[in-house]
Structure formats: structure tokens, C-alpha cells
Amino acid sequence: MKANVTIHRDFTISQVDDRVYSSFLEHLGRAIYTGIYEPGHPTADADGFRGDVLDLVRAIRTPYVRYPGGNFVSAYNWEDGVGPRESRPTRLDLAWRTRDNNHIGVNEFVDWCKKAGTKPMLAVNLGSRGLDAARNFIEYCNHPGGSYWSDLRRQHGWKDPHNVKLWCIGNEMDGPWQVGHKSADEYGKLANETAKAMRLFDKSVELVVCGSSSSNMPTFPDWEATVLDHTYDTIDHLSLHMYFANKENNTLNYLAQTETLDRYIQSVSGVIDYIKAKKRSKKNVTISFDEWNVWYHSNEQDKKILEGDDWPDAPHLLEDIYNFEDVLQVGSVLNTFIRRADRVKIACIAQLVNVIAPIMTETGGPAWKQTIYYPFLFASLYGRGTSLRTIVDGPTYTADVGSDIPYLDVSVVRANEGDALTFFVVNRHLTETLDFTSALHGFPAARVVEHIQMTHPDLKAVNSAANPDNVVPKTVGGTLVEDGALRSKLPPLSYNVIRLSV
């Protein structure tokens, strides 16, 4: 089977915003406690942060980490997580039916971000709270001193302001499951007033307003239109969320779900353009896809906790163990964001450690890379630059989400320095090798530097503490540039990163 891709140096989509490779930590399960924070662990530093986890996070160069939620934030009092640890209250988290001792709060999280080489993307509670708590929170975090909340931060031991510039105004407020769920009109009005107040404090902050938590929501896309009608002039980004699942164990249907993701982005982009035109605005609002990942492996085991009355501390919740099949899905999701670089400016894989995460830990034991760590790593390392348009001519198939789903999924990024070109390619075909060819118009000196590939004979193969290298990338040969075209043979069900010097 043959698949041809045409690119041209001058046919560009947009600069890929580095923030597309951001991530997420919520006070949920073991994401924080025994995830990033475990005093007494053999690798823990003086602040109790796990050094083995920090090493794995630094390696993926994730620019921002969203915190503290997620559903958790909609009933969270940020004040509970500051001040002396011995004075912090233990609270019941209504979102995940667990307890939280608040030993980690915003100050410690900002310190962890500095150690991890990332920056905080903070969320404010617009569920059980509102404008007043939000304005106090940003003053506590960002004002140098000389006011009540900034002086309180200084008293707590953090003299310098945190200078947090990226803020989420609530979380999934369209969801009936959310504490403080609101209609689009109610939320839009509150979000607008909150944004105005935060901008009165600092005009330079970037603000993210809640869009739909799923394209399947009955309020989609009216929710976006109503919320943006209220907030367009005061916010910068619209938040979208999407998770992927293969509950029917149908690989081709599963991998086709990124077509739904693409349509989701396209539809919301149309709503944004409509409100922009309606308001006669010159401003561009972009998309923050600040929750996305594969999530279904742990659903059954989570029911006992989520439907129980035990209120445990840091339980094993949402601990999906990812397989090789999920590598292909995550690779295609990242390809979608790259191809939509003109619209999607922020994206956060949910989450970072233990909870539907690329990194797993054992309490008191090792940390290791899940299978999906690798496509995220490669996209973050080599997917920074300009996204190029791709014209694909190849075989397709029909799936539940639609017809003409291409077996070949590809995105191409030219590095910011202009001297490198990277192809991220997924062959979705179950059994056939694809003879892959790409014309390289405008790149006469191109040569192959490296072809990284992930394949495995078992789609359900996983990594574990006992076998952390079961599913890993390998460098392969046989890929070359010949007569102005890139040529390679891509095995069935393979994820490929082809790096060129240009």
C-alpha cells in the first residue's frame, strides 16, 4: 500500500505554540501525594519532592502545568493550602470523594514548578466561590508586598511574588457533575466580571474561560456562543476537554476518534469567528485544550472509591495503565494539535503523574515511563517550530465516526532555527506496511538524521515497575531522501518520528 504526502517550505499553518506541550496536576488520587511529593522517599529532596519524578518531568520540557484542578478546584478554598502545614485543615473533596490534608498548596506547587523547569497555570474556583476569592488569590500570588494578601504570602515565607501569568477561570462549568454548575448565561456573566477584576490587578495576565467539557454535551456549541458573547473582550483563550477510550476493543474505531477531535476544534473555531464578527472585534481568541488524554482503563476499579463512603487519603484513582495501542492514539492527538496550530495555542495532557498520566510511581519505590510518555516526549522535543500543511494521498477506511479516515496520520514541523524538519507519522493499518513517500518542495538539501519508531507485536503490551522497557522507541534504518522525496516503509500499527536536516 502506498501513501504520499506533499509539503512545501512556504505552505505553512502557524507557529506551534510551545504551550501545546503543557500538562496538568490535580489534587486527585496520587498525582500530588506519592506522585510529585513524598517526604522520606529515597530520592526526595529537602522539600519532599521526588527527584526521580522531577527528572522525568524535566526531560519532557513541559512549559506549563495546570493546577489545582480540574473538578477539585470547584469546591477548593485556596487559603487552606497556605501558611504553616500544621495549621492547614484536612478537607473532604466532593469531586473525588477523598480527603486532602493540604500539605501541598500554591506556594509549594510554584516551588516544584521551578525545580521541574516549568511554569504554573492556575485555576480559580468559580463553582462554590467567585470573584472575591479570585481577586484575593491573584493578589496573594503576584503582588510584591504592601497589601494584606501579598504581605500574608511574605509572612508564609515566600518573599518574592510568583508572577503567575496564565489563569483558568473555573473548570468545566457546563458539567452537571461540577460543584457550582451554572448555565452558560450565569457562568458567562460571572466569568466576565471575574476576568475584569483580575485585569484591573494586572492587564498582562492571560485568561482562559470554560468552553465545553466534551463535544457530546447537550449544550455544545451553544455554550461557547453564549459564554463568549459575555467574555470575548476580557479573555484570551477558550478551554476545551476531550478524552479517548477503546471500551469496545475496536482498534480502528478507537484510532479514528481523532477525527472527532479535529471536527470539535473546527466547530469551536467557527463559533469564535462568529462572535468575533458579531462584536466587530480585531481580537483573536484561541483554544486552550487543557484536558486531554486516553482515559478508560481504570473506570471499573475506580467505582469502589467514587461510589463509596470511605473518604480515603490519596487513593489509587484513575491509574490507567497504558498500552502500545495508546501510543498510536496519543501520537495522533498531538498530530491534530500541530495541524491546528493556528487555533490551539495551549494543550495540557491530563495528567502528569499517576492519574491518567505518562509517569507512574510506586510509593517508596521507583518511577517509570508509561508507553504514552514517548510520543509526548518526542513531540515536545521536536515539535516546536512552524507547522507545515500536509496533502495526503493514501488509503482510507470507514469507522463509526465517519468515512474516509486516512490510515496515514501525519504532521510536519520545521524547527524555529529553520535547519530541521520533523515528520510525526502514525500508520493505523492493522496489517499492511505503508510505502511512505513525501515530496520535499523547498528543501533541496534535506537528508535523514534519524528515524525513531515504536512498534510492538502486542497492542496491549504495557510498561511496569518490573518491566519498564517493554514498550520503548528504537532507531531504525532504511529511510532516505531520494530524488527530492522522503521515502520509508512504515510497519502496520507504528508510530514514527523522522528527523531531517534541511
User: Do 349 and 24 form a contact (C-beta atoms < 8 A)?
Assistant: yes
What cell was used for 48? Answer: 519532599
Residue type, 307: E
Q: Please report, in angstroms and rounded to a whole number, the separation of the first and last CA atoms in the chain.
A: 28
Residues 6+ apart with CB under 8 A from 45: 51, 54, 115
Estimate to the nearest angstrom the gap between the alpha carbon of 272 and the chain centroid: 21
Q: Answer for the pair 424, 332: CB distance below 8 angstroms, yes or no.
A: no
Cell numbers that stand for 333 in this block: 492527538
Q: Is residue 188 within a helix (H) or strand (E), and if so which, with residue range?
A: helix 184-201
Q: Which of 79, 259, 291, 319 is catalytic?
A: 291
Q: Pairing between strand 391-393 and 2-8?
A: antiparallel
> For residue 49, what is the DSSP state?
B
- Residue recorded with cell 512556504: 10
> Residue 286: in which H helix or E strand, if any?
strand 286-294
| Cα 343 to Cα 288: distance, rounded to the nearest angstrom | 9
Pairing of strands 22-24, 344-350: parallel
* Ordered strands of the 434-441 beta sheet: 391-393, 2-8, 434-441, 485-490, 480-482
State whether residue 277 is helix, strand or coil.
helix
Catalytic residue flag (residue 172): yes
Q: Is-contact 327 279, C-beta < 8 A?
A: no
Residues in the chain, overall count: 502
Any idea of the CA torsion for 182, 186, 188, 190, to the nearest 10 degrees? -100
Tell whether omega for the bond before 211 is within 30 degrees of 0, i.e. cis.
Answer: no
Cell of residue 448, nine digits: 535523514
Backbone angles phi, psi at 206, to 5 degrees: -105, 135
Q: How far apart are CA 372 and CA 349, in angstroms?
A: 11
Q: Is 489 within 8 Å of 433 (Cβ atoms)?
A: yes
Let me know: does 403 contact 396? Beta carbons within 8 Å: yes
The torsion region of residue 364 among left (phi > 0), alpha (psi -120 to 50) and beta comes to left
> What single letter denotes the amino acid at residue 280?
R
- Which of these is catalytic: 172, 259, 319, 325? 172
Is 79 annotated in the active site?
no
Query: How is residue 91 written as a grid cell?
Result: 478537607
Three-state secondary-structure class, residue 209: strand
The catalytic site residues sit at 172, 291
